[in-house]
Amino acid sequence: MLMLPLAASAQSSETQHVLEAGLRLTPKLDLILHARMRTRPGESGIYQARGGPILDYNVTPKVSLLGGYYLSDQKQSGQAGWDHSNRAFGGAEIDAWRHRLFTADWRSLAERFWGGPDSFFRFRTRLRVVGTMRVAPAGSVETFFDVRGWRSTRYSGTVEVKLGHGFTFEAGYFHEPRRDEGLRHMVQSSLRWRSPRRQLSP
């Protein structure tokens, strides 16, 4: 079923693949090392790659502050070389709801891009719901804004598999209506690892 939207719009289909490792630095602070690439199968192959660190600070059991930086390389269609750019971002994530069958979180980030073909600010906000089972469905809606207003909205559906020993694999699809570039279809996958949370001393 996840492939049906792609069959309807093969020319605009892309893939996205994420690797992450989360290290617990203190009882409240995590360092997350993030890498992601995007491809256009049958067209330009890999056209975007990025990586960088993220700091995740637990203010309370339900509220985290996030901050990070990505270095990105991107190749435009028909372009021989790569453009290099930078992204700095910060925001918060709230553990909005917990139930025995699912959890919901809300994340909002402000982002600054510079050094590439375009330099701009962007704001994004996302609501994500995921089941608590070892193999569980997940869904999210994320909306992006810039100085001109609404930029795009991303509707995502995935299956999340908890592999054990801190590893989680996720695969699925999102489609994203965009103001300037039309509808995007994306098959996505991710592999994430998190170190165990150390308990605070009594």
The residue whose two tokens read 């067209």 is: 43
Domain membership of residue 116 (yes or no) is yes
Domain membership of residue 103 (yes or no) is yes
pLDDT of 75 reads 87
Domain of 187, in residue numbers: 4-194
What is the domain-level CATH number for residue 40? Answer: 2.40.160.40
- 160 φ/ψ angles, rounded to the nearest 5 degrees: -110, 130
Domain membership of residue 136 (yes or no) is yes
pLDDT tens per residue across span 116-170: 778 999 999 999 999 999 999 999 999 999 999 999 999 999 999 999 999 999 9
- 44 φ/ψ angles, rounded to the nearest 5 degrees: -110, 5
Q: Report CA Rg, the chain.
A: 18
Domain membership of residue 96 (yes or no) is yes
Domain membership of residue 202 (yes or no) is no
- Structurally, the chain folds into a number of domains equal to 1
Domain membership of residue 201 (yes or no) is no
One-letter amino acid at 66 equals L
The residue whose two tokens read 């054990």 is: 164
pLDDT tens per residue across span 19-36: 999 999 999 999 999 999
Asked if 2 and 176 count as a contact pair (C-beta separation under 8 A), the reply is no
- Full-model pTM: 0.88
Domain membership of residue 59 (yes or no) is yes
